[in-house]
Amino acid sequence: MAKDDDKKDKTVTIIVDGTPHEVPKKEDITYDEVVALAYPDYRQHPEITYSVTYTKGAGGKEGILSPGGSVKVHERMEFRVNRTGQS
């Protein structure tokens, strides 16, 4: 198997606000990880809150990802991250 194939076996592509991102194929992705993909300066602005929703999860699951939470990643899973204001 080629090295590119090995990499593909260890990653999945998720979509965050319409942009594809390759992430490690592991059990879960956290709220913080998803928000940081959408807003790279996220950690520098703790006063801003975000809402995170997802669709196309394993078995067609969809829902809300809350701060401190995580969800199992699935190939082509889609996330929407919106700034909801000041905390």
Going by the DSSP 8-state scheme, the letter that residue 5 receives in this structure is: H
| pTM, 2 dp | 0.84
Domain of residue 61, residue span: 3-86
> Mind listing the pLDDT tens digit for each residue in 28-69?
999 999 999 999 988 888 888 899 999 999 888 999 999 999
Place of tokens 């078995």: 59
> Any idea what the CATH number is for the domain that residue 15 is in?
3.10.20
Distance from C-alpha of 12 to C-alpha of 41, rounded to nearest angstrom: 23
Number of domains the chain is built from: 1
**Residue 56 DSSP symbol:** S
